[in-house]
Chain A
Amino acid sequence: MGKLVIVGISDQKIAISPDSLITYALGSCVGICIHDTLKQIGGLAHVLLPETFGDNNRNDIYKFADLAVKELVHNMEIQGCARLHLTAKIAGGANMFITTGTSIGERNVAVVKKELKRLNIRLLAEDTGANYGRTVEFNPFDGKMIIKTAGKGNKIF
């Protein structure tokens, strides 16, 4: 049994099988799981906000989808992952309270998808939107993403 690596809010971590990754209680935040199928390495990022609006020179880059996705891929490449072998699964982006206009959750999901596309990383699965929280567990061995909820059951992607 490997250990369970906890990823906080506005944070990201990389784990190698048999270790696995977990991030708790995503609301409007998005969890991005990136998997290297060949090397069985996984990366998990937990982003709070969609964009920095060009303000890239800050010390909280893991908070923003536009910078965090790029950074996670970069960090995985440093670990020896090849872009070609990377795939992604995402979860979260809920709308916990009704808002007018596009919710932060929806905007988070949109920016994450745009970044993945720009980086040529295939999105294999997503469990996003709706109005409930999700805990995400990600296993770098087989790339499985497990979603746990309060009262809405569990799902495996």
Chain B
Amino acid sequence: MESYQNLNELQLSVLSEIGNIGAGNAATSLAHILADKVMMSVPQLQIIDVSSMASILGGPENELAGILVNMTGDVQGLLLFLLDEKFICLLVNVLMEEEIDDFDQISELSMSAIMEIGNILAGSYISAISTMTGLNIGLSTPQIAIDMAGAILSYPAAQFGAMGDDLLFIEEDFLSGQSSIKSHLLIMPEPKSLRLIMESLGVNGWEN
């Protein structure tokens, strides 16, 4: 069975590089949005099962915002940003000139603003893949769910459940002013799309 677990070192370094470039683009976009300098750590690529992922995110019941964007076109798959309350409130406070510190205080309008951020962040990573591979990749309209981490993760887990239990994600710290923001991004191309990405880069096909 094809599984992210079967990726070899070279293929993993390709994905890490996509993560690096994507995160660089994302940091630039965030700096524009926040009108402040944004520094970033070296992104960490990990392949992990759902339960371990939930632990990293503060436990299955920890409330998070999940922003989902589907990849369309040459590459099919999903991007799911998992952002904590602190990150979301910072974005809302800067963008909407509000002062909130809780998910419960987010208005409908702020929700749309957050989705737009999701769109911009997703675009950062997608353009990294497109630029490197020359593949044409589109993005669906973002959707947002604010709920327990485990419940949000059930979506990618179910979408890719027939393939295995592994999730492919990039952990990234953004630093802006006094704030350190942790972002987790699940970046999950479907098996045939992942093979296409590798082939476009001249990396050996994704064998079992």
A binds B: yes
| A-to-B contact residues, CB < 8 Å | 8-10, 24-29, 48-49, 60, 63, 94, 96-98, 104, 131-135, 148, 150-151
**B161 touching A96 by the CB < 8 A rule?**
no
Q: What residue in chain B is nearest A8 (Cβ atoms)?
A: B51
Using A131-B145, A150-B147 as known contacts, say yes or no to A27 and B152 having CB atoms under 8 A apart. Answer: yes
> Which residues on B sit within 8 Å (CB–CB) of A133?
147-148, 150-152, 154
Contact B61 A27 (CB under 8 A): no
- Do A49 and B66 have beta carbons less than 8 Å apart? no
Contact sample, A vs B, 15 pairs, CB 8 Å cutoff: A9-B150, A9-B157, A25-B61, A25-B149, A25-B150, A25-B151, A28-B155, A29-B154, A29-B157, A48-B157, A48-B158, A97-B155, A132-B147, A132-B151, A150-B146
A28 and B158 contacting across the interface, CB-CB below 8 Å? yes
Is A96 a contact partner of B104 (Cβ separation < 8 A)? Answer: no
Q: Complex: how many Å from CA A151 to CA B85?
A: 14
Q: How far is the CB of B55 from chain A (nearest CB, A)?
A: 11
Say if the beta carbon of B162 comes within 8 Å of chain A: yes
Grouping DSSP codes into helix (H, G, I), strand (E, B) and loop, the A interface class, with mixed when no group exceeds half, is loop
B151 and A49 form a contact (CB under 8 A): no
**How far does the alpha carbon of A29 sit from the alpha carbon of B68 in the complex, in Å?**
18
Q: How many Å lie between the Cα of A9 and that of B146 in the bound state?
A: 20
Contact of A29 among B149, B158, B159 (CB under 8 A): B158
A26 to B147, CA, bound (A): 11
A134 and B151 contacting across the interface, CB-CB below 8 Å = yes
Taking a contact as CB atoms under 8 Å apart, the answer to whether B143 and A97 are in contact is yes
* Assembly CA distance A151 to B68 (angstroms): 21
Taken together as a complex, chains A and B put the C-alpha atoms of A96 and B146 apart, in Å, by 9
Determine the residue in chain B with the shortest Cβ distance to A148: B61
Alpha-carbon distance A26/B154, docked complex (angstroms) = 7
In the complex formed, the residue of B with least CB distance to A52 is B162
Contact A97 B68 (CB under 8 A): yes
Q: A8 to chain B: which residues have CB within 8 Å?
A: 51
Q: Is the CB of B165 within 8 A of A96?
A: no
Chain A nearest CB, measured from B154 CB (Å): 3
Contacts of A98 in B (CB 8 A): 143
In addition to A25-B148, A48-B161, A49-B162, 9 A-B residue pairs with Cβ atoms within 8 Å of each other are: A24-B148, A25-B149, A27-B158, A29-B157, A29-B158, A48-B157, A96-B155, A104-B158, A133-B151
* B contact residues around A60 at 8 Å (CB): 165
Are A135 and B61 closer than 8 Å at their CB atoms?
yes
- Docked pose: A135 CA to B68 CA in angstroms: 22
Taken together as a complex, chains A and B put the C-alpha atoms of A25 and B51 apart, in Å, by 11
B90-128 interface code vs A (CB 8 A; 1 in, 0 out): 000000000000011000000000000000000000000
CB contacts (< 8 Å) of A10 on chain B: these are 165
Q: How distant is the Cα of A113 from the Cα of B13 in the complex, in angstroms? A: 45
- Nearest B residue (CB) for A51: B162
**In the complex, residue of chain B having the shortest beta-carbon distance to the beta carbon of A107:** B158
Task: List the A side residues contacting B146 at CB < 8 Å.
Answer: 150
Residue of B nearest to A24 (CB): B60
Tell me if B50 is interfacial: C-beta within 8 Å of chain A: yes
Within 8 A of A (CB), among B119-173: 143, 145-155, 157-159, 161-162, 165
Contact residues of B between 56 and 83, Cβ < 8 Å to A: 59-61, 63, 66, 68
